[in-house]
Amino acid sequence: MAIDGVLVPITFFGMVAIVSVGMPLARAYARRMESGAARPTVPPDVTARLERMEQAIDSIAIEIERISEGQRFTTKLLSDRVVASPPASQQAAAPGTILTHREG
């Protein structure tokens, strides 16, 4: 009967020792596995291709900005060209026609 009274505390302290040593080891192993999966390796040819794509996208963005600047300039020129009050002979023109002022 004396062994039964000692067996439970020995088992308890043995499990506490195993858990206190095993938990940090398990956590370290899990972190090591996660860090390896979080950093996928990219081949160098894919990296070079992505850099070329980035440069191409940047150049396309610059060209689109130039096109929009040209459209803004053209719109400004066309809006400046509108005559404030057309001559009386052209006031009766049909809607939607472009009125121009001719001198001479």
Are 11 and 31 found together in one domain? yes
Are 36 and 46 found together in one domain? no
pLDDT tens readout for residues 44-96: 899 999 999 999 999 999 999 999 999 999 998 888 877 554 555 555 555 66
- In angstroms, the CA 50 to CA 48 distance is 5
Residue range(s) defining the domain that contains residue 23: 7-40
Are 50 and 75 found together in one domain? yes
pLDDT tens readout for residues 12-31: 888 998 989 889 999 999 88
Total structural domains in the chain? 2
pTM for this model (two decimals): 0.42
Are 50 and 23 found together in one domain? no
The answer to whether residue 18 sits within a structural domain is: yes
